Amino acid sequence: MLLTGLGLGIALGFAMQRGRFCVTGAFRDLWLTGSTRWLTAFLIVIAVQSAGVFALDAAGVITLDPQPFAWLATIIGAFIFGFAIVLAGGCATGTYYRAGEGLVGSWLALIFYALFSAISKTGALSTPVAALRGITVEASTIHGVLGVSPWVLVVALVTGVGLLARHHRRRRPSLPLVSLPARTGGIRHLLFEKKWGAFTTALIIAALAILAWPLSWATGRESGLGITGPSSNIVNYLVRGDPELIDWGVYLVIGILLGSFVAAKGSGEFRVRLPDVTTTIRSIFGGVLMGVGASLAGGCTIGNGMVDTATFGLQGWVSLVFMIIGTGAATRLFITGSARIAASPIRVPADR
């Protein structure tokens, strides 16, 4: 049964790589270009998944069990995590799938992210992290606070996101979008060459995110998609050798790595790429802060931003807001205000 995690992870890694689904990019674009196209795609995943999750809950397949909201740790952790993903060049899943594309910077970010997740959850930093997460309020979900049925929120979210998606689909750029020339046909073209639309990719990821719930539940891991916990489990397993730590989530993240590798290799997009010195240092520090931030916040862009939000958890939505603010701060510091953007185009001599 644990193998369903591997299968789902492979499908997820494949879809994310081919669809260029990057949550860091979605948050960063807000501050960099003001574009909400990828954020809309991300919200589609949340909205569709919320309908699926509450349907599964109503059918008794899963039972949502909201926890008290650790507000202070969530706010601090989410800001740190949002800041860190700009440094690392990808969020938790983004780092996994870029690692599968052969980016050595993402390998480093991934290693330090997993290591510092373990340190923060069960290691040297676990005491302060647990103390901060002990500061809670009784409220745990938005529908709980409002005293309404979660379906009111599902309908409101699906409607709002639907309108936003329609707005983007109607807005056409002034010139047609250019695609790479096709070299293959049939199923191979569809899987490894054709450009996947942002919203199509979002719908595929939403379907996988819904499917994750019952599959994970069946193995005793009672939650949906998650990245930080499994990453921490891998480190703990490697150093302690306790096979109990290998759960559905561990298979899931290994699957993401495999799936993105297959997608990248099949489409000629895999190459081992070494980062320069600045990118190397940023990847390492980004990974460290991602591990600490996600452990404090109780989740990453996926666990909190995409999954807890779909259950209308306060932790998920507060986290989403503060991750976006953190991303904005790092974008100002390291991208728009960066001295690196000094590149001048080189003129090609006319006689060439």
Partner 1 sequence: MAQYTLETDGQVCPFPLVEAGAAITKLDLGDELTISFDCTQATDALPRWAAENGYPVTHFDRVGDAQWTITVQKA
- Tokens standing for residue 109: 């970010």
Q: Are 110 and 96 in contact (CB under 8 A)?
A: yes
Quote the CA–CA distance of 53 and 49 in Å, as a whole number: 6
CB of 294 to partner 1, least distance (A): 20
For residue 32, give Cα distances in angstroms to 171, 223, 337.
19, 34, 11
Q: Which of 181, 243 has the CB closer to partner 1?
A: 181
- H-type helices in 90-185, by residue range? 92-100, 104-122, 126-133, 142-146, 150-170
CB of 320 to partner 1, least distance (A): 20
CB of 138 to partner 1, least distance (A): 41
- Region for 161 from its dihedrals, namely left if φ exceeds 0, alpha if ψ lies in -120 to 50, beta otherwise: alpha
Q: Which of 59, 178 has the CB closer to partner 1?
A: 178
Quote the CA–CA distance of 310 and 142 in Å, as a whole number: 11
Q: Please report, as ranges, the residues that interact with partner 1 according to CB under 8 A.
A: 17, 20, 22, 25, 28-29, 32, 89, 98, 101-103, 105, 173-181, 195, 198, 264, 268-271, 273-276, 279, 335-336, 340-341, 343-348, 350, 352
Q: Which of 42, 54 has the CB closer to partner 1?
A: 42
- Tokens standing for residue 210: 């819904």
CB of 88 to partner 1, least distance (A): 9
- Tokens standing for residue 342: 């000094």
Q: Which of 237, 332 has the CB closer to partner 1?
A: 332
CB of 119 to partner 1, least distance (A): 26
Q: Which of 52, 275 has the CB closer to partner 1?
A: 275
